[in-house]
Amino acid sequence: MRSVAVVFVVYLVMIVAGLAYAITLGLQGH
C-alpha cells in the first residue's frame, strides 16, 4: 500500500501545482 499512497500524493501534487500556476498566471495578467 505504500507505493499506492505515493501515487495518490503525486496525483494531488500534480493537480494542485497545475491549478496554482494557472490561477497565479491569470491573476497576474500574463
Partner 1 sequence: MPRWLKANGLSIAFGVIFIASLVGQAISGHTDFNHDQHIHHGDPISLWHYVTSAVFWVDVMENWQSEYLQFTLYIFVTVWLLQQGSNESKPPGDEGPETDEQQLLGKHTKAESPGWAKAGGLRTRIYSNSLLLVMGTIWLLSWFAQSVTGRVIFNAEQLDHQSSPVSWATYITTSDFWNRTLQNWQSEFLAVGSMAILTVYLRQRGSPESKPVGSPHSTTGAEG
Per CB under 8 A, does 25 bind partner 1? yes
13 binds partner 1 (CB under 8 A): no
User: If you count DSSP H runs as helices and E runs as strands, how many of each does the chain have, helices first?
Assistant: 1, 0
Rounded Cα gap, residues 18 and 25, in angstroms: 11
- CB 17 to partner 1: min, Å: 12
Instruction: Work out whether 23 is an interface residue with partner 1 (CB under 8 A).
Output: yes
- The single residue among 9, 13, 15, 17 that binds partner 1, judged by CB under 8 A, is 15
All cell numbers assigned to 14: 500534480
Work out whether 10 is an interface residue with partner 1 (CB under 8 A).
yes
Alpha-carbon gap, residue 16 to 29, rounded angstroms: 20
